[in-house]
Amino acid sequence: MEFKKITTPLSEDTIAALRTGDEVLISGTIYTARDEAHRRLTLLIAENMPLPFNIEGQIIYYVGPSPAKPGEVIGSAGPTTSYRMDKYAPVLMEHGLKGMIGKGKRSEEVKSAMKKYKAVYFGAIGGAGALIAKSIKSSKVIAYEELLSEAVRELTVEDFPAIVVNDIFGGDLYNEGKLKFAGKFK
Amino acid sequence: MKIIKLDQISNAVIDLITHAASNLSEDVIKSLNNSLDIEISESGKSVLNKIIKNAEIAKSEDRPLCQDTGLAVFFVEIGSDIAIEGGTITEGINEGTRKGYEKGYLRKSTCDPLTRKNIGDNTPAIIHYEFTGGDKLKISYAAKGGGSENMSRIKMMKPSDGIQGIIDFAVETMEIAGPNPCPPNIIGIGIGGNFERSAIIAKKALFRNIGTINPDKELAQIEQTIYNKINKIGTGPMGFGGVCTALAVHIIKEPCHIASMPIAINIECHSHRHGSVVL
């Protein structure tokens, strides 16, 4: 399997070249946020307040890592299920978000917002938190420290492994993969 | 009467929790390797290989297999000939949970359901007690993640729905779950009891080792039918398409009311972290 290496912030060209099913290795800065952080970020947008990071062209990773042991950058850090962020994702895309990393299906609203705002959804392997942590080179809490593992973190990643689930052309790996293998079990 | 001290319980719980977090048990590893032989999808195989690699890293570097180190769920069998010194079993298990999640650098995931404020120490543990004869205290533990738990379902079916209704509900539950519960999954099914009892026995069914055969021949047959149907859905490892969606289907049944047929489907992720100890 060939990998596409991509770097953040994501350019329009990079995004346009990605297709559903592409295995990618992501490098650069990404930001973490889960349920409560999303609620707060969208509240800031509603109130015309600045976000804790520049969201233009960026990727948000849906993760709540386990605590780092002394001397480690981060604990285990695999994806959480994405649908819980569906309510908040379209407004973040409207304000410049270009990528999301998580696991599991997205709503129709999120999928049409991805087409409209030219953003991509990447799937990471749930339950592979020890493996994924190896691609995380630095981690810094930049907002909502009181949320503990759910705080917003700025991560530097190198060759973070993921797969394109939804591209900007309406492709959906979950639908396509299921159709391809339905009934094939012997 | 055998005396068991409270710190024996909490120390045993600390060991169970910290060990399970980074060591996938033999039954799960074997079942993942078997899946690799069955899987025909390239992306499915790639995912399974990464899951197995993840288990190797977690074990050798003593890192949690998954950042969601779960709610701490226990099934406890209490012999009639034991006495606990220093407090209640519940206190001992919660103390062990508090210390185990701290010692292992594990994520604390319990929170207030309304304010969403984190409790901070992963208590309270969820504990189910059973009383038996003898002088043993058996503590079985599982770290139960939120993603798979969220896709679980319960239904009060009609007696006329029959076995076919049970099979259809289980398969429909996995259709709806799709990629969300981190497939390939272990599916615990509770048939009978009442509303809450069906859910508890569905959870308990997850504690049976993968690869063991249900001693009840009819249930073993239903498990096989559901397993085959789930793997025909096409979801595959992490939902990217494939034929390995279920690692195992485990059923427990209990008598129910003549008017009812409760059924609960408890889904467990591939990172099935469990263990037990006898004191």
**A104 found inside a domain:** yes
Domain membership of residue A7 (yes or no) is yes
Q: Read off the pLDDT of each residue in A52-71 and give the average, rounded to a whole number.
A: 97
Inform me whether the C-beta atom of residue A138 falls under 8 Å from chain B C-beta atoms. Answer: no
Q: How confident is the model at residue A2 (pLDDT cuts 50, 70, 90)?
A: confident
How far B40 CA lies from chain A's nearest CA (Å)? 9
In angstroms, the separation between the Cα of residue A176 and the nearest Cα of chain B is: 7
B182 and A103 Cβ atoms separated by less than 8 Å: yes
Task: Look over chain B and give the mean of its residue pLDDT values, rounded to a whole number.
Answer: 97
Domain that holds residue A145: 3-181
Asked if residue B264 has pLDDT above 90, the reply is yes
Closest CA to B101 of B25, B21, B7: B21
Query: Is B46 part of the contact surface with chain A (CB cutoff 8 Å)?
Result: yes
Select the residue of B64, B150, B231 nearest A81 (Cβ to Cβ): B150
* Structure-token pair, residue A122: 């990447």
Count CB atoms within 10 A of the CB of residue B42. 13
In chain B, residues with a C-beta closer than 8 Å to the C-beta of A134 are 57
Any domain includes A76: yes
Question: Running DSSP on this structure, what letter comes out for residue A55?
Answer: -
- Would you state the pLDDT for residue A59? 98
Task: Count CB-CB contacts under 10 A for residue A158.
Answer: 13
The Cα B134–Cα B125 span in angstroms is 25
Q: Quick check: B51 contacting A, CB < 8 Å?
A: yes
Helix or strand or coil: residue A107? Answer: coil
Local confidence band at A8 (pLDDT 50, 70, 90 cut-offs): very high
Q: What is the pLDDT of residue A111?
A: 98
Residue B201: phi and psi, rounded to 5, are -75, -25
B235 touches chain A (CB under 8 A): yes
Per-residue model confidence (pLDDT) at position A186: 87
Side-chain-facing half-sphere of A46: CA atoms under 13 Å: 8
For A99, half-sphere exposure in the C-beta direction (CA atoms, 13 angstrom radius) is: 31
Structure tokens at B67: 């950042």
Please check whether residue A139 lies inside any domain of the structure.
Answer: yes
**Is the per-residue pLDDT at A57 higher than 90?**
yes
Structure confidence at residue B44 (pLDDT):
96
Is position A110 within any domain?
yes
> For the residues of A114-143, what is the DSSP string, one character each?
HHHHT-EEEE--TT-HHHHHTTEEEEEEEE
- Among residues A6, A15, A26, which one has the least CA distance to residue A155? A26
Q: From B183, which residue of chain A is nearest by alpha-carbon distance?
A: A126
Instruction: Render pLDDT for B4-34 as a digit per residue (tens, 0 to 9).
Output: 999 999 999 999 999 999 999 999 999 999 9
Mean pLDDT for B70-94 is 97
How many CB atoms within 10 Å of residue A102? 25
**Burial letters for A13-43: b for 16+ Cβ neighbours within 10 Å, e otherwise?**
ebbeebebbbebbbbbbbbbbbbbbbebbbe
Instruction: Say what the pLDDT of residue A175 is.
Output: 97
Report whether A134 contacts A142 (CB < 8 A).
no
Retrieve residue B6's tokens: 């409270």
Taking the CB of residue B162, how many other CB atoms lie within 10 A of it? 12
What number of C-beta contacts closer than 8 Å exist between A and B? Answer: 175
Fill in the amino acid letter for B163.
I
What is the pLDDT averaged over residues B243-263? 98
Q: What is the ipTM of this complex?
A: 0.94
Query: Would residue A131 count as lying in a domain?
Result: yes
Name beta bridge partners: A103.
Answer: A81
Tokens of B192: 């009978």
Whether pLDDT at A1 is above 80: no
CATH code of A159's domain: 3.20.130.10
Q: How far is CA B208 from CA A2, B57, B75, in A?
A: 39, 26, 12
Is the pLDDT score of B114 beyond 70?
yes
B107 vs A66, A131, A177: nearest CB: A66
Asked whether B8 and B15 are in contact (CB, 8 A), the reply is no
Contacts of B64 in chain A (CB under 8 A): 66, 75-76, 129-130
Residue A5: pLDDT above 90? yes
Identify the burial level of A9 via C-beta atoms within 10 angstroms of its C-beta, where 0-12 means exposed, 13-18 middle and 19 or more buried: middle
Task: Indicate whether A186 belongs to any domain.
Answer: no
Instruction: Tell whether the torsion through CA atoms of A36, A149, B237 and B273 is positive or negative.
Output: negative
**Which pLDDT belongs to residue A4?**
96
pLDDT over threshold 70, residue A177: yes
Alpha carbon distance A73, A75 (integer Å): 7
From B82, B99, B70, B80, select the one nearest B7 (Cα to Cα). Answer: B99
All residues of chain A having their beta carbon less than 8 Å from the beta carbon of residue B69 are 66
Domains of chain B: 2-20+65-144 (no CATH), 147-271 (3.30.1330)
> B54-81, pLDDT tens digit by residue?
999 999 999 999 999 999 999 999 999 9
Q: What share of chain B in percent tops pLDDT 90?
A: 100
Phi and psi based region of residue B125 (left: phi greater than 0; alpha: psi -120 to 50; beta: remaining):
beta
Q: B187 and B248 in contact (C-beta within 8 Å)? A: yes
- A127 in reach of chain B (CB within 8 A): yes
Residue A67 touches partner B, C-beta closer than 8 Å? yes
- What's the pLDDT tens digit per position in A136-164? 999 999 999 999 999 999 999 999 999 99
Burial B148-157 (b: 16+ CB within 10 A, else e): bbebbbbbeb
Give me the number of domains chain A comprises.
1
When pLDDT is averaged across residues B223-230 and rounded to a whole number, the result is 98
Residue B138 pairs with which residues in a beta bridge?
B77, B278
Any A CB within 8 A of B143 CB: no
Mean pLDDT, to the nearest integer, of A88-108?
98
Which residue on chain B is closest to A134 by alpha carbon? B57
Alpha-carbon distance B64 to nearest alpha carbon in chain A (angstroms): 6
- Rounded to an integer, what distance in angstroms lies between the CA atom of residue B174 and that of residue B228? 12
Is residue A35 domain-resident?
Answer: yes
